Amino acid sequence: MSAETIAPPEPAPFVIAPGPHVRAEETTTKIMWTVNAALAPAALWGALVFGLPAVGVIVAAVAGAVASEAVAGRVVRTRTSVRDGSAFCTGLLLALTLPPLVPLWAAFLGGAFAIIFAKTIFGGLGYNLFNPALIGRAFLMATLPLPMTAGWITPAPFFANAAAVTTATPLGAWREQGITAAMNLLGGAGSPWVSLIVGLRPGSIGEVSVLLVVLGGGVLLARRIITPTIPLSILVGVLLTTAPSGQAGLHLLSGGLWLGALFMATDYVTSPSTRNGQIVFGLLIGALTGIIRIYGGYPEGICYAILLANTLVPALNLWFRPRRPVFAGAPS
């Protein structure tokens, strides 16, 4: 019986082309549109309970971001990234942080400012230092403080609030008149937590329903697009700084805390790349949010807390660099 002859395997081809040579299944386009889909429940709820004004704000902010992205791509002669969903995401995130009664032209201007001055001038997608949507919101707060702080209306499902009068947010009522006023705004002592969690309270378009924001964030966690390190660290930071006030529960469920923690602070480009750096980053954001709310001049603080923490990301990446393992006997 003769032995079977087995041909040697062909050598693998030697690749000399420029990288990347290893590609992940998740692309930027997939990630961006997944984030947009995860934001959809909160956006739809805001449109439902705040009515047509909220719909107009969402459309205007997204239009401003997408239009400026297209124009900027032509001006700087780079490949347009409109289709990857990043500009749409910036406009949508900005809209969800705005009051329902903010002027439509202001929402459009905020979206355009976010793309041009927080993204394009830094080199485009992946090079920005600050979260573009929050830069847009900070710009509107600085230039249009009255519409940005007085454009709140009482939520009324199924577009029933067309003639609703303006009101205050729970954090604003707590700051100006005390906890009793905040509880009365939420429906009295019997139902404040339901109003906070479900989203039957005055506030920005996409932040009022903690339940739907967490649902969207859960999708990102399940898809491993984000990790829980930064959001949990932010919540711990807020809890530690607001606990002495006796109203930690109100601070944890009010304002844009969950929207910022799950969808803005976790931005790949503007957050640290190591776990320890992310913990410090999140704790800093949470602590600054609590300090601004209690001792600062604004009832809300998550926007400026994230922007301030963004400035420290290069330092955090440097301080918490991953250590390369050194094996005994290996040449240096």
- Tell me the pTM: 0.86
Task: Report the candidate in 37, 93, 88 with the shortest Cα–Cα distance to residue 66.
Answer: 88
Q: 175 lies in a domain? A: no
Structure tokens at 61: 């902010």
Residue pair 99/147 in contact by the 8 Å Cβ criterion: yes
Tell me the pLDDT tens digit for each residue of 99-110: 999 999 999 999
The residues, ordered by sequence, that sit 6+ positions from 108 with a Cβ below 8 Å of its Cβ are: 60, 61, 63, 64
Looking at the structure, tell me whether residues 134 and 274 fall in a common domain. no
Q: What angle do CA 220, 222, 227 make, to 5 degrees?
A: 65
Structure tokens at 166: 């303006």
- Measured CA to CA, the distance from residue 279 to residue 250 in angstroms comes to 23
**pLDDT score for 255:** 87
Q: 1 lies in a domain? A: no
The residues, ordered by sequence, that sit 6+ positions from 37 with a Cβ below 8 Å of its Cβ are: 219
**pLDDT score for 170:** 79
Residue pair 157/49 in contact by the 8 Å Cβ criterion: yes
Q: What angle do CA 297, 303, 307 make, to 5 degrees?
A: 110
- Measured CA to CA, the distance from residue 322 to residue 32 in angstroms comes to 27
Tell me the pLDDT tens digit for each residue of 241-272: 999 988 888 899 888 999 999 999 999 999 99
Residue pair 255/303 in contact by the 8 Å Cβ criterion: no
Looking at the structure, tell me whether residues 213 and 242 fall in a common domain. no
**pLDDT score for 297:** 80
- Measured CA to CA, the distance from residue 81 to residue 66 in angstroms comes to 9
Looking at the structure, tell me whether residues 206 and 68 fall in a common domain. yes
- Going 148 to 212 to 300 to 111, the CA torsion angle's sign is negative
Spans in the chain with pLDDT lower than 70: 1-25, 77-80, 157-167, 188-190, 324-332
**pLDDT score for 313:** 95
Range of the domain at 47: 27-167+202-224
Looking at the structure, tell me whether residues 80 and 209 fall in a common domain. yes
Looking at the structure, tell me whether residues 112 and 206 fall in a common domain. yes
Looking at the structure, tell me whether residues 116 and 218 fall in a common domain. yes
**pLDDT score for 162:** 47
Looking at the structure, tell me whether residues 146 and 253 fall in a common domain. no
Tell me the pLDDT tens digit for each residue of 144-173: 998 888 878 888 765 555 445 566 787 877
Report the greatest alpha carbon distance in the chain: 98
**pLDDT score for 328:** 60
